[in-house]
Amino acid sequence: MALGACIIVMNLYYVQPLLHQLRGDFHVSTATATALMTCTQIGYALGLAFVVPLGDIIPRRKLVVGIFLLAALMIGVGSFITSFTFFVMLSVLIGLTSVGGQVIIPFAADLAPEEQRGRVIGKVMTGLLMGVLLSRTFAGLIAQAWGWRAVYVCAAVLLVGMAGVMHFALPQEPTRSHVRYRTLVMSSWLLITKHRQLQKRAYLGSLLFAANSTLWTPLSFHLAGAPFKYSNAVIGLFGLFGVAGILAANAAGAQADKQRTKVMTVIGAAILMVSFVILGIGQHMLMGLAIGIIVMDAGMQTVQITNQSVIYSLMPEARSRINSAYMVCCFSGASIGSYLAGVVYSSYGWTGDCWLGGIFGAAIVIPALVWRAPATTSVSTS
């Protein structure tokens, strides 16, 4: 499950270290180039809203394999695109078909014992985080050697191979009760109105992902320009600095099992906000950027794993729909963050983006301090 989540989530982030090259190849502006990332995240949000809820009625092994094959088709087509307009449209479809990891995570939560759910989520999220990190490095190295189109060819091959692995590796599930698709999708949004904790965590998640996009979307432009002037390969290697997020994910999962959700949320949000101060001060230094990325990713994953541990305890029989509603909010925030980051970077440079990220961080930490922690064993089965 961790490996599957790793490979399919990579689709969302291949483009980030390549944006400066795509800007030149397609002869578009910086702000226009960032539309590729924005549209990928919009497509992912649509997939979360309309595909992920199917995990509550369709056997998830069958659903996951189908999603992987469709994702392989979409990203394979990307290697042939010559029109920027069509590439933007395809980016929506790539995002839409890359939601397999968000079907896998609640599946893993269902299989886990109650007292170990946080740690199990943390382990599967470790795979997903490895995908986020490796996608940027993988894309940078492949593009440096064979061009950016080869990145999409290799990605398609990986997805087809993983579809076969998942077909044999994932466990069978019993037949589920039939629910009309429209009712299923609508019920995801009704869950937000029903659960106060889901509302809070969705708010935090949307700002969390907006802050993450504020760092990663303009980073390739910043590193490709003076004083760095790095190649695709070197820019891609910056993704490895986020390895701290993997350690934070596992630590946060263990603390969530001990019902320390409020303190971990506050700590993670504070770390996130501080990271943008570091990124601003060290914007012209390799070490400053590296430390800022490490700190930011650790803060983000601390809050994210805590959020997921809380929401998965709300309605065990509807985890796919709860995950769908939550992650739609997250990636809606991510797409807004990518758009704003591109606009702000075009006008105010890296310093402006650090201010933007700091504002997102403050908007997380302040309510996290005020809100009360959820009840220790509030599991609803209604």
Residue whose C-alpha is closest to residue 36's, from 147, 148, 155, 204: 148
- CA 240 to each of CA 27, 167, 234: distance values in angstroms, whole numbers, following the listed order: 29, 30, 11
Contact present, 201 and 307 (Cβ < 8 Å): yes
Q: Is pLDDT of 256 > 90?
A: no
**Span 215-239, pLDDT tens digits:** 999 999 999 988 999 998 899 888 8
Give residues with Cβ within 8 angstroms of 194, minimum separation 6.
Answer: none
Percent of the chain with pLDDT over 90: 57
| Phi, psi torsion values for 157, nearest 5 degrees | -65, -45
- Could you tell me which residue, 243 or 190, shows the higher pLDDT? 190
CA angle 11, 55, 88 (to 5 degrees): 30
**Span 203-212, pLDDT tens digits:** 999 999 999 9
Q: Is 210 helix (H, G, I), strand (E, B) or coil?
A: helix
Q: Is 212 helix (H, G, I), strand (E, B) or coil?
A: helix
Lowest mean pLDDT among 17-31, 166-180, 188-202: 166-180
What is the residue whose two structure tokens read 């800022």? 292
Helices (H), the chain: 2-9, 19-26, 30-33, 35-50, 60-78, 84-96, 100-111, 117-146, 148-169, 181-194, 196-224, 232-237, 244-257, 261-281, 286-311, 319-370
For the residues 188-203, what does the mean pLDDT come to?
89
**Span 355-382, pLDDT tens digits:** 999 999 999 999 988 887 665 444 333 3
For the residues 91-100, what does the mean pLDDT come to?
95
| pLDDT, position 139 | 94
| Phi, psi torsion values for 282, nearest 5 degrees | -100, 30
What CA–CA distance (Å, rounded) separates 347 from 216?
A: 17
What is the residue whose two structure tokens read 């805590």? 306
Cis peptide, bond prior to residue 316, ω within 30 of zero: no
**Span 135-173, pLDDT tens digits:** 999 999 999 999 999 999 999 999 999 999 999 999 887
Which structure tokens are listed for 300?
């983000």
| pLDDT, position 250 | 65
What CA–CA distance (Å, rounded) separates 1 from 88?
A: 30
| pLDDT, position 336 | 94
Cα–chain-centroid distance for residue 98? 11
Q: Is pLDDT of 261 > 50?
A: yes
For the residues 180-193, what does the mean pLDDT come to?
81
The DSSP output letter for 11 is G
* Residue 83 half-sphere exposure toward CB, CA atoms < 13 A: 4
What CA–CA distance (Å, rounded) separates 311 from 150?
A: 39
| pLDDT, position 132 | 84
| pLDDT, position 379 | 38
Lowest mean pLDDT among 3-12, 38-47, 75-84, 100-109: 100-109
For the residues 7-14, what does the mean pLDDT come to?
95
Query: CB count, 10 Å around CB of 171?
Result: 9
Q: Is pLDDT of 316 > 60?
A: yes
Q: Is pLDDT of 243 > 80?
A: no
**Full set of structural domains in the chain with CATH:** 2-170+180-370 (1.20.1250.20)
Q: Is pLDDT of 71 > 90?
A: yes
For the residues 313-329, what does the mean pLDDT come to?
83
